[in-house]
Structure 1
Amino acid sequence: MPLLQAQALSRSFGSTRALADFNFSIERGEIVALMGANGAGKSTFVKIISGVLPADSGSVTFKGQAFAPATPAEASAAGVVTVHQSTDLVGIPGLTVGDALLLNRFVDRKQPFFASRGRVRREAQAMLREAGFDLPVDRDFAELSAAERQLVAIARGLADKAELLILDEPTASLSATESRRLYAALLDLKKRGIAILYISHRTADLEALADRVAVLRGGRLVESFARPVNFDLAIETMIGRPLVSARPDARGGAGDPVFELSGARLLPGSHPFDLTLHRGEVVAITGVLGVGKSRLLSAIFGNVAVAEGEMRLAGRAYAPSSPREAVDAGVAMAGEDRHRSSLMPAGWPGESIVATISLPHLHRWYPTGFIQPRREREKAETAIRRLGIRPSGPNTSVWTLSGGNQQKVVLARWEAEPCKLLLLDEPFQGVDVGARHDIITAIRSRNDRATLIATSDPEEALEVADRVLTMDHHTIVQSSRHGDSLVSRHDDGSLTGRHDSRENSSREHA
C-alpha cells in the first residue's frame, strides 16, 4: 500500500484549473521528484497535502486513511512536513539560529517556555548534526545568507520526525558542497523509510536523488520516469515541445566598454582584480557560496563600498553611495531573493505587476508627484508581451504568479527603461526550464547595455553568458569565453580552466 495516494484530485482558481484529475502515489523510503513548468500544478498539489488548501474534488489517503488536513500544523502532526523555498517565516531578526530551529517546538509547547540558553544550544546543535549542516547556533537569524536560512529550514523540517518530507527547491540557494551534504542527509532518511517528495528544476538534484520522476503538465500527471531518467525526454514532456537550447550562439564581438573596475579589492586584504564589461555583452560570475559574487554586484549598485579600487561607467568616474544614485546613473539590479529585495509584501499597496515594474522609476517618470495610471499600464503591458508573463492583467498581484512569472516581472522592471548596466543576482532561482528560456532570450536580445550575472550554478553561467568569470576568495581567478575548451567543472561545482592561470587571468582576461 502506498504511503500517500492521490486520486482524481482537482482544484480550480476561478476559471483557471490548477489540478485536473491528478493521480499520484509515493511509497515509504522512496524519493519522487515532481517536475513541471511554473503553473503546472506542483504548488497546488503540495498545498493540498500540506493543509494550506482544500481540494475541490478527489481524494487523498495517507497510511491507508483518508487525509485532508485543515492546517499545515495538522499535516505536520500526521507526519507530512513541508520545507518551502521561501524562508521568510523560518526566523526573524532578534532570534538566534538555535531559536529558529526550535521555534516550532516552542509554538507547539513541546519545549519548556523558560528553556535555558544552554539547552537551546545543545538541542539546536543536535538538529544540525542530524541534518549534516554546520551553522553557528548563536548567530542572529537576520545575519544569515539566503543559503544559510534554507539550511535552517531544512534542518527544522528533518527534526519534525516526518514520514513524508516535501522539499520545494531546497538547493536553489546552496553551493555544490552544501547540496551534496543535503543529498547525503536525504539518502540517509530514505534508508530509514522516510518518503521524500522533491520539487526541483535542477537535473543535478534529480540525478543524485530521484528513484522516480513524475511530470506534470496542465494540472495532470502526464508521465512517470523510472531511474535512470532520460532528462531530455522528461523536459520535453514537461514543456510539451522538443527541447531546444535556450542559448543562442555567442555574438561575434562586443561594443565599447560600459563599466570598468580597476585595482578592486572587495575586502581588505583580498587579492585585487580588474573587470571590464562591454556594451552588448552578457558576463556571468560563478563560484561556490561566499566567494564574493553578490558582494561585487552590491558594490557596483551602491549597497556596499569596495575596500579599494576605482569604477568607471561609460567612461566617467562612478562611485554611487546608494542604489538610487546607481539607478539614476543607469545601473539596474535584481537581487538574489526576489521575495525580500524586489517584491512588496502581499496585501500592501504596490503588490501588483504594474506597481512592481514602475516602483524604482516613479521619481523620474512623475517628478511632480502625480502618477499617470495609463502610462504605468502601457509600460506593464509592453513588458508582459515582451517577456511572456502570463497573468490575467497588469493589475494582478505578483503573489498570485508562479515563481517564473514573478522573476519575469522583476526583470521587466528594468526592461521598462533603458540602462547602461544590468546586474542580476541568481536570476534563475526557482525558475523552470520554459521560463528560463524566456528570461535568457530577453537578456540576450538587448545590445544596448552590458549585463553581469552572478550564479552559483556553472551550467546556468554557460547557458546564458558570452563570458564566464570564476571567483574565489573575493577575487576573479579565471575567465573563459563561450565555446572555449578550457572550461571544466570541479568537484565543488566551480568552473576553472584546465590550465592553472590564477596569477594572470584576472588582469589579462577579466
Structure 2
Amino acid sequence: MDAATAHTPAPVLELAGIHKQFAGIPVLRDVQLRLYPGEIHALMGQNGAGKSTLIKVLTGVIKPSGGQMQLGGEPVWPDSPLAAQRLGISTVYQEVNLCPNLSVAENIFAGRYPRCGIAQGFRIDWAQMHQRSRELVERIGLSIDVTRLLSDYPVAVQQLVAIARALSIEARVLILDEPTSSLDDDEVQKLFEVLRRLRGEGLSIVFVTHFLNQVYAVSDRITVLRNGSWVGEWPVKDLGPQALIAAMLGRDLAAQAAQTSPPPPANASDTALLQTEGLGQTGQLQPLDLQIRAGEVVGLAGLLGAGRTELARLLFGLEQPDRGMLRIDGKAVSFSNPMDAIRQGLALCPEERKTDGIVAELSVRENIALALQARMGVGKFLSRAEQTAIADRYVQLLGIKTASVDTPIGLLSGGNQQKAILARWMAIEPRLLILDEPTRGIDVAAKQEIMEQILRLAQAGMAVLFISSEMSEVVRVSHRIVVLRDRRKVGELPAGSTEDAVYELIAAEQHA
C-alpha cells in the first residue's frame, strides 16, 4: 500500500483559494494544495505556472493576496522564512544555499549553535553539535566526517546536508525545489532512497521537478498548476505521463490535428555538416548522437529541463563536454569558447534575449554588427558607414520596426529585438544557426515572420537547429525532430509528424 492510500483523513498542510497579485496582475488564482503525513507530493507545471510563487507563499517569502493556509488543522500565515521554519516548514532549493567554508556540522546548525551553560560563558558546545550532526546525517544514510568543510564533499552530499539541516529544525513539511538538477543518475537514486526513508518516518515532502521519470519513481500524488491556476490533484497511479503533460499544457493530446510539413530541403547534403557521437556533460546532458545537414531544419523538442539549452551551449562552446566527440564536415573539433564555434561557421541566438542576446544600451546598428566585428578580431574595425549599410540591409530584409538604426535596441519591442539578434548572426553568414526559443515573448505576427525566415534560410542552404517550447512551431518548420526527455535523447521523428506524436515520445515509458 502506498502512502497516498494509507494517509490519515486530515492533511498536515492545506492551502485553499490562494491568490497573489503583483502590480495588479494575478500570478496565482484560486490555488490549492493538500499534503498528507508520510507522502511525497509532486508539484508540477511548466515555467511560469506559479510553482515558485506558491513555494514563496508557503515559506513566508511573500504574503498572498487572499486564501487560507492550515498546518495540522490550525490556521497559520508565516510572515518570513524564519517563521515558516519555526512552524516546521523547511525548504531545500536547487542551488545548495549553504556555506562551503564552514564544516558540515556548522552548516547544519548555523544560527542555532548549541551552547554550554553560564559557567562556560554560553560558549558553543562543539561536542554536542558534532554528536547531533552525526545522528542527523546517519538518519539520511550518510557516513561522513561532520567536522570537515562542506566544500570537501561533492554536490550530491551537500544536497543531503541541506536536507539534514532541514530535519534539524524538526520539520513537518520538507519542500524540495529541483533538488536533482545537478545530480547524476546514481546520485538521484541515493537521494530517492533518503526521501523514501523520510516518508516512512512520516515526513511530508513537496517535490518540484521537471523530470517526468522522477515523478513516477518517487511520488505518491501530483498537483498540477498552469498559468497560475490550479488544474487538479491526482494519485500518481491515476495520471499517466501523457495525461500529465496534457494537464500541464492544457491540451488534449489525443485530439491534436495533423500538422503541415515544411517544404523539403532544397539543398540538403547527404553528408552531415555537424555530427555528435556520444556528446555529453556530467550532470547536464547524457551522451547524445546528432546529425545536422546543410539545408535542413532539425527541431529539438522536449519539455522544460529536457536538456535542449544544455545541448545548444555545448555545441556553441559556452560549455565544454566531458565525453563524446563533435565533428564538423567529418573532422573532429573542440570548442574552448564561442569564438572557436563562430570560426567554424556556427551561430547561436540564445534563449534569454534580454540578458544574453541584446546589449540594451547600444543601438540597433551596433547590436547587429557585434558578431561580425568580433569575428574580425582585435585591431580591425567596421566603420560606422559599414555598420549602417549592414544594419539597413537587415532592417529591410527582416522588417525590423525601428525609427532609425541608431535607436537604442532596448527601446524596441521584443519581436523586433529578436529579429535584430537574428540579423546579427545572418550578417556573418553562418553555416549552422542554432535558435534557442527564438519566438518566446513576441507577438503572433513577429512569430510568423521569424518562422518564415527560418524556412527561407534553410532553402538557401543554411543548416538550422530549432529549439522551441511551442510544439506547433517545431513540427511546422522541422525536417527532422530530435526528442529529448530528462536530459537524454529518446528518439527522432520525420517531417510531417504531429504534436501528438512528439508528446507521446516524450511521455513514453523508459525501457531497461
**Coarse TM-score class (shorter-chain normalised):** 0.5 to 0.7
- When residues 86 and 442 of structure 1 are mapped into structure 2, their CA distance, relative to the original with a 3 A threshold, is farther
- The Cα of 1:58 is off from its aligned counterpart by 2.0
Given that residues 331 and 420 in structure 1 are in contact (C-alpha distance below 8 angstroms), is that contact kept between their aligned partners in structure 2?
no
Look up the SS of the partner of 2:47 in the other structure: coil
User: Residue 323 of structure 1: which of 311, 323, 338 is its match?
Assistant: 338
Q: Deviation digits for residues 208-248 of structure 1, max 9, x if unmatched?
A: 33332222234333322134222233432332211269999
Distance 1:56 1:62 in 2: 19
What is residue 106 of structure 1 aligned with on the other side?
110
Look up the SS of the partner of 1:228 in the other structure: helix
- The Cα of 1:42 is off from its aligned counterpart by 2.1
What is residue 85 of structure 1 aligned with on the other side?
94
- The Cα of 1:296 is off from its aligned counterpart by 13
User: Residue 167 of structure 1: which of 160, 166, 176 is its match?
Assistant: 176
Distance 2:279 2:247 in 1: 47
2:192 aligned with 1:183 = yes
Q: Deviation digits for residues 429-457 of structure 1, max 9, x if unmatched?
A: xxxxxxx742795599467xx99999764
Given that residues 303 and 323 in structure 1 are in contact (C-alpha distance below 8 angstroms), is that contact kept between their aligned partners in structure 2?
no
2:65 aligned with 1:49 = no
- The Cα of 1:79 is off from its aligned counterpart by 0.6
Distance 1:142 1:422 in 2: 43
TM-score by length of 1: 0.59
Worse overlay, 203-212 or 127-136: 127-136
User: Residue 364 of structure 1: which of 367, 371, 377 is its match?
Assistant: 371
User: Residue 470 of structure 2: which of 438, 447, 459 is its match?
Assistant: 438
Look up the SS of the partner of 1:8 in the other structure: strand
Paired AA for residue 204 in structure 1: N
Q: Deviation digits for residues 6-54 of structure 1, max 9, x if unmatched?
A: 2322111124212223333222223322223332322222111101100
2:86 aligned with 1:61 = no
What is residue 38 of structure 2 aligned with on the other side?
29
Distance 1:301 1:440 in 2: 29
What is residue 317 of structure 2 aligned with on the other side?
301
TM-score by length of 2: 0.59
Look up the SS of the partner of 2:34 in the other structure: strand
- The Cα of 1:311 is off from its aligned counterpart by 6.7
Given that residues 421 and 451 in structure 1 are in contact (C-alpha distance below 8 angstroms), is that contact kept between their aligned partners in structure 2?
no
Given that residues 37 and 238 in structure 1 are in contact (C-alpha distance below 8 angstroms), is that contact kept between their aligned partners in structure 2?
yes
Distance 1:203 1:264 in 2: 23
- The Cα of 1:148 is off from its aligned counterpart by 6.0
Segments of 5+ residues of structure 1 without an aligned counterpart are 267-272, 285-293, 336-341, 344-352, 393-413, 428-435, 467-482, 491-510
Paired AA for residue 470 in structure 2: D
What is residue 415 of structure 2 aligned with on the other side?
381
Given that residues 109 and 168 in structure 2 are in contact (C-alpha distance below 8 angstroms), is that contact kept between their aligned partners in structure 1?
no
Identity of aligned residues (%): 22
Question: Whose radius of gyration is greater, 1 or 2?
Answer: 2
2:27 aligned with 1:18 = yes
What is residue 462 of structure 1 aligned with on the other side?
490
Segments of 5+ residues of structure 2 without an aligned counterpart are 1-9, 117-122, 282-286, 301-309, 360-366, 374-380, 385-404, 420-436, 444-453, 495-504
Given that residues 275 and 326 in structure 2 are in contact (C-alpha distance below 8 angstroms), is that contact kept between their aligned partners in structure 1?
yes
Count of aligned positions: 399
Look up the SS of the partner of 1:223 in the other structure: strand
Distance 1:265 1:389 in 2: 26
Counterpart mapping for 1:243-254 below 5 A: 243=253
Distance 1:462 1:15 in 2: 42
Let me know the Cα RMSD of the aligned residues: 5.5
- When residues 206 and 180 of structure 1 are mapped into structure 2, their CA distance, relative to the original with a 3 A threshold, is same
- When residues 2 and 423 of structure 1 are mapped into structure 2, their CA distance, relative to the original with a 3 A threshold, is same
- When residues 203 and 21 of structure 1 are mapped into structure 2, their CA distance, relative to the original with a 3 A threshold, is same
Given that residues 140 and 197 in structure 2 are in contact (C-alpha distance below 8 angstroms), is that contact kept between their aligned partners in structure 1?
no
